[in-house]
Structure 1
Amino acid sequence: MRATKKYLIPALIASVGLALAGCAPTATTNEPAAEGEELAPVAVSLITSQTGPLATYGEAYIAGFEAGIDYATDGTKEAGGRAIDITISDDAGDADTAVNLARDAIGQGTKILAGTASSGIALALAEQAEQNKVLYISGPAAADGITGVNGYTFRSGRQTYQDVATAGTFIGDPAGKSVLVLAQNNAFGNGNFTGVQAVLGGKGAEVTSVLVPEDATEFTPFAQQIVQAAPDLVFVAWAGATSGAMWQSLDQQGVFDATTVVTGLGDVATYGAYAAAGEKISFLNHYHGGAADNEVEAAMIKHLEANGHKADLFSPDGFNAALMIVQAIEEGGGDDVDAMIDSLEGWEFEGPKGTVTIRAEDHAMLQNMYQAKLTKDGETWVPELIDTIDADTVTPPLAK
Structure 2
Amino acid sequence: MKRAFAALTLAAGLAVPAAAQDADPIKIALVHGMSGSPLEAFSKQTHTGFELGLEYATDGTMEVNGRPIEIIYKDTQFKPDVARAVLAEAYADDEVLLAVGATSSGVTTGLLPIAEEYERILLVEPAVADSLTGPDSNRYVFKTSRNSSMDMQAQALALKPDENLYVATLAEDYAFGRDGIAAFKSALEGTGATVVTEEYVPQGTTDYTAVGERMFNALKDQEGRKVILIYVAGSGDAPGKLQAMDPSRFGIELSFGGNILPAMVGYKAYPGMEGAVYYYYEAFDNPINDWLVEEHQARFDGPPDFFTAGGMAAALAVVKALNTAETLDTEGLIAAMEGMSWDTPKGEMTFRPEDHQALQSMLHFKIRVDDDVAWAIPEKVEIITPDMMDIPIGREN
* TM-score normalised by the chain length of structure 2: 0.84
Quick check: 1:318 aligned with 2:311?
yes
Task: Give the deviation of 1:141 after TM superposition.
Answer: 0.5
SS at match of 2:28: strand
Quick check: 1:180 aligned with 2:194?
no
5+ residue gaps, structure 2: none
74-83 or 282-291: bigger deviation: 282-291
Quick check: 1:144 aligned with 2:130?
yes
Quick check: 1:167 aligned with 2:155?
yes
**How high is the sequence identity, in percent, across the aligned residues?**
26
Give the structure 2 partner of residue 30 of structure 1.
none
Task: Give the deviation of 1:171 after TM superposition.
Answer: 4.3
Distance 1:334 1:226, change over 3 A: farther
Note the alpha carbon deviations across 1:353-392, whole angstroms, 9 max, x for none: 1111111121111111111122222162332112111111
Runs of 4+ more than 6 Å apart:
24-27
SS at match of 1:342: helix
Give the structure 1 partner of residue 33 of structure 2.
49
Structure 1 Cα separation of the partners of residues 295 and 303 of structure 2: 10
Task: Give the deviation of 1:56 after TM superposition.
Answer: 0.9
| Mapped contact 2:267–2:367 kept (Cα < 8 A) | no
Which residues in structure 2 correspond to 1:79-94 (within 5 Å)?
79-94=64-79
SS at match of 2:303: coil
Quick check: 1:339 aligned with 2:329?
no
Partner amino acid, structure 2, of 1:313? F
Structure 1 Cα separation of the partners of residues 325 and 179 of structure 2: 37
Structure 1 Cα separation of the partners of residues 198 and 148 of structure 2: 20
Partner amino acid, structure 1, of 2:345? P
Give the structure 2 partner of residue 237 of structure 1.
231
Distance 1:51 1:132, change over 3 A: same
Task: Give the deviation of 1:223 after TM superposition.
Answer: 3.5
SS at match of 2:376: strand
| Mapped contact 2:168–2:215 kept (Cα < 8 A) | no
Quick check: 1:59 aligned with 2:55?
no
SS at match of 1:44: strand
What do you get for the CA RMSD once the two structures are aligned? Answer: 3.0
Note the alpha carbon deviations across 1:164-214, whole angstroms, 9 max, x for none: 100111244x56564413315744655543332233237664322253776
Q: How many residues align?
A: 376
Distance 1:158 1:13, change over 3 A: farther
Give the structure 2 partner of residue 207 of structure 1.
195
5+ residue gaps, structure 1: 3-10, 28-37
| Mapped contact 1:163–1:285 kept (Cα < 8 A) | yes
Distance 1:345 1:228, change over 3 A: same
Partner amino acid, structure 1, of 2:380? L
Partner amino acid, structure 1, of 2:386? A
Which residues in structure 2 correspond to 1:1-400 (within 5 Å)?
14=10, 20=14, 22-23=16-17, 38-53=22-37, 54-107=39-92, 108-148=94-134, 149-172=137-160, 174=161, 176=163, 178-183=165-170, 186-187=173-174, 190-201=178-189, 205-209=193-197, 211=199, 215-217=207-209, 219=212, 222-223=215-216, 225-230=218-223, 232=225, 234=227, 235-238=229-232, 240-243=235-238, 244-250=240-246, 252-253=248-249, 255=251, 261-276=254-269, 278-308=270-300, 309-332=302-325, 335-378=328-371, 380-383=374-377, 384-400=379-395
Structure 2 Cα separation of the partners of residues 64 and 137 of structure 1: 15
Task: Give the deviation of 1:111 after TM superposition.
Answer: 1.9
Partner amino acid, structure 2, of 1:268? L
Distance 1:347 1:185, change over 3 A: closer
| Mapped contact 1:294–1:352 kept (Cα < 8 A) | yes
Partner amino acid, structure 1, of 2:74? S
Partner amino acid, structure 1, of 2:375? W
Partner amino acid, structure 2, of 1:358? F
Structure 2 Cα separation of the partners of residues 339 and 190 of structure 1: 35
Give the structure 2 partner of residue 33 of structure 1.
none
| Mapped contact 1:42–1:84 kept (Cα < 8 A) | yes
Structure 1 Cα separation of the partners of residues 237 and 292 of structure 2: 34
| Mapped contact 1:21–1:86 kept (Cα < 8 A) | no
81-90 or 239-248: bigger deviation: 239-248
Structure 1 Cα separation of the partners of residues 78 and 43 of structure 2: 10
Partner amino acid, structure 2, of 1:271? M
| Mapped contact 1:44–1:84 kept (Cα < 8 A) | yes
* TM-score normalised by the chain length of structure 1: 0.84
| Mapped contact 1:114–1:138 kept (Cα < 8 A) | yes
Structure 2 Cα separation of the partners of residues 14 and 102 of structure 1: 24
Structure 1 Cα separation of the partners of residues 24 and 326 of structure 2: 11
